[in-house]
């Protein structure tokens, strides 16, 4: 597994190890974010988890790990993941998301051929590769043509195409999944939901880009993990699968809901929504993402278990229970530097 220290990866490792008693996870992660080590602290004493710090672009290291642990399945979570960062510093997105995925595919191809093994490669992709939808357009299916519009989504789309090419050219057992916006425990507070929670806790303004009427579909991370598990277990080589939360909402409505929950949990003198502040828009901001999930529903009888209310309740509670984790990130020099850089880039510095 790669990127298993990050938000979705760390949730998936916990899910998988609980579900499967014979799986051993080798977790290759570069630890690009502060807080990473804490994300896998609970796995330190887990004998079926081995952490390796390193870069997925490092072919020698990838090849060595595949051989040393006789890896039979790769799930590639590792990526640069924040659209705003991809706009300010696209270079690293191309390196990690494109070249890193290529390196994994190539090293896997060589190792599995040498070992005479039919390994499995699962690429974690995103709804963003399908591009921006209008409010009245139908949700994207697995057959919707790609139309990425940010350096992030273009790099993820490129990685998908490489993975598909390895299926067709080398007959490798490759599967892909596209998920919508995840939320839940351990998400880095640069993304909308944890950023809103972190700012509310500090009584700081919540920046809403543009008119705030952009629509995202929200998927609770545990539901995502369940679908991924089913795809890994029973998915077909060469297939891709949409995993959506069926929770579409405008950013403004979402943030207002979190504010209302804070009004109940931590009443203050003024309603929290007064902290919402419209700021300049993200360049090329995609208006709407939406995924049709009929395929996973039909094949795996999977359906998201969390509505936004229960998912948000669990998420907010996790952050309230882990204020030390949050604090260690919010006071980290590299994080503060990024916040400053992003604000300056957006003309708000
Ligand atoms: P994250 O940023 O929390 O975690 C990514 C992890 O990858 C981090 O631990 C980081 O250290 C690691 N990483 C980055 N560059 C690396 C490199 N060169 N080598 C090794 N490790 C490296 O992201 P996440 O939200 O957990 O996303 C996981 C995957 O899911 C990504 O592929 C992302 O594109 C995809 N995805 C996420 C969402 C979402 O809402 N979070 C939605 C759709 C798709
Ligand atoms: P984000 O969490 O960055 O995910 P993505 O860009 O991958 O969808 O952003 C979710 C939405 O929230 C997106 O439309 C941008 C918007 N947004 C804000 O309005 N303010 C913010 O401070 C952030 C981080 C995002």
Whole-Å CA distances, 217 to 133, 186, 207, 246: 12, 19, 19, 6
For 142, phi then psi, to 5°, come to: -65, -15
Shortest CA distance to 107 belongs to which of 146, 152, 148, 61? 61
Give a yes or no: residue 276 inside a domain: no
pLDDT at residue 143 in the model: 98
Give a yes or no: residue 343 inside a domain: no
Q: Each residue of 285-328: pLDDT tens digit?
A: 999 999 999 999 999 999 999 999 999 999 999 999 999 999 99
pLDDT at residue 348 in the model: 61
Residue among 33, 111, 152, 289 flagged as catalytic = 152
CA pair distance 138, 271, nearest whole angstrom: 36
> In this model, does residue 138 exceed pLDDT 60?
yes
Q: Is the CB of 185 under 6 A from ligand 1?
A: no
Q: Is the CB of 183 under 6 A from ligand 1?
A: no
Shortest-distance ligand to the CA of residue 61:
1
Q: Which of 191, 195, 200, 287 to mutate to test the pocket of ligand 2 (most atoms within 8 A of CB)?
A: 191
Report CA(83)–ligand 2 centroid distance (Å).
8
Give a yes or no: residue 37 inside a domain: yes
Torsion of CA 156, 43, 29, 169, to 10 degrees: -50
Q: What percent of the chain has pLDDT over 90?
A: 94
Spacing of C-alpha 46 from chain mean position: 24
Strand-by-strand arrangement of the 248-250 sheet? 181-183, 215-220, 248-250
Residue among 29, 55, 107, 128 flagged as catalytic = 128
Query: Which residues form ligand 2's pocket by a CB distance below 6 Å?
Result: 83, 181, 191-192, 195, 207-209, 214, 216, 251, 282
Query: What secondary structure letter does DSSP report for 279?
Result: E
**Residue 226 belongs to a domain with what CATH number?**
3.40.50.720
CA pair distance 138, 270, nearest whole angstrom: 40
How does the average pLDDT of the chain come out, rounded?
Answer: 96
Q: Each residue of 75-92: pLDDT tens digit?
A: 999 999 999 999 999 999
Q: Are 226 and 232 in contact (CB under 8 A)?
A: no
CA pair distance 226, 302, nearest whole angstrom: 8
Give a yes or no: residue 198 inside a domain: no
Give a yes or no: residue 121 inside a domain: yes
> In this model, does residue 30 exceed pLDDT 90?
yes
Active site residue 152: yes
Give a yes or no: residue 293 inside a domain: yes
Residues with Cβ < 8 Å from 318, sequence gap 6 or more? 184, 185, 186
> In this model, does residue 167 exceed pLDDT 80?
yes
For residue 122, the enclosing domain spans 7-186+219-246+288-306
> In this model, does residue 346 exceed pLDDT 80?
no
Question: Total domain count for the chain?
Answer: 1
Q: Which of 7, 37, 140, 163 to mutate to test the pocket of ligand 1 (most atoms within 8 A of CB)?
A: 7
> What pTM did the predictor assign?
0.98
Give a yes or no: residue 301 inside a domain: yes
Give a yes or no: residue 227 inside a domain: yes
């Amino acid at each position: 597994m790669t990127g298993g220290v990050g938000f979705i990866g760390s949730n998936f490792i916990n899910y998988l190890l609980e579900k499967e008693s014979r799986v051993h996870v080798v977790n290759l992660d570069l630890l690009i974010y502060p807080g990473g080590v804490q994300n896998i602290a609970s796995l330190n004493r887990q004998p079926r988890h081995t952490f390796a710090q390193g870069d997925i672009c490092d072919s020698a290291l990838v090849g060595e790990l595949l051989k040393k642990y006789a890896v039979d399945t790769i799930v590639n979570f590792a990526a640069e993941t924040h659209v705003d960062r991809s706009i300010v510093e696209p270079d690293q997105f191309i390196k990690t998301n494109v070249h890193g995925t290529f390196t994994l595919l190539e090293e896997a191809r060589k190792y599995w051929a040498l070992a005479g093994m039919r390994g499995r490669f699962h690429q974690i992709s995103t709804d963003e590769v399908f591009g921006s939808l209008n409010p009245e357009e139908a949700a994207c299916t697995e057959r919707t043509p790609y139309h990425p519009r940010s350096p992030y989504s273009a790099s993820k789309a490129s990685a998908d195409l490489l993975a598909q090419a390895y299926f067709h050219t080398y007959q490798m057992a490759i599967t892909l999944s596209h998920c919508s916006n995840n939320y839940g425990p351990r998400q880095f507070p640069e993304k909308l939901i944890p950023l809103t929670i972190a700012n509310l806790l500090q009584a700081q303004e919540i920046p809403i880009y543009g008119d705030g009427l952009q629509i995202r579909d929200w998927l609770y991370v545990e539901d995502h993990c369940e679908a991924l598990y089913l795809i890994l277990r029973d998915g077909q080589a060469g297939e891709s699968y949409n995993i959506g939360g069926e929770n579409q909402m405008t950013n403004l409505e979402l943030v207002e809901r979190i504010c209302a929950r804070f009004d109940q949990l931590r009443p203050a003198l003024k309603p929290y929504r007064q902290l919402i502040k419209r700021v300049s828009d993200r360049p090329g901001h995609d208006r709407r993402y939406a995924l049709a999930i009929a395929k996973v529903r039909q094949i795996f009888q999977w359906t998201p278990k969390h509505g936004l209310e229960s998912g948000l309740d669990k998420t907010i509670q996790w952050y309230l229970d882990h204020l030390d984790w949050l604090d260690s990130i919010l006071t980290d020099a590299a994080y503060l530097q990024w916040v400053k850089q992003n604000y300056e880039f957006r003309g708000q510095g």
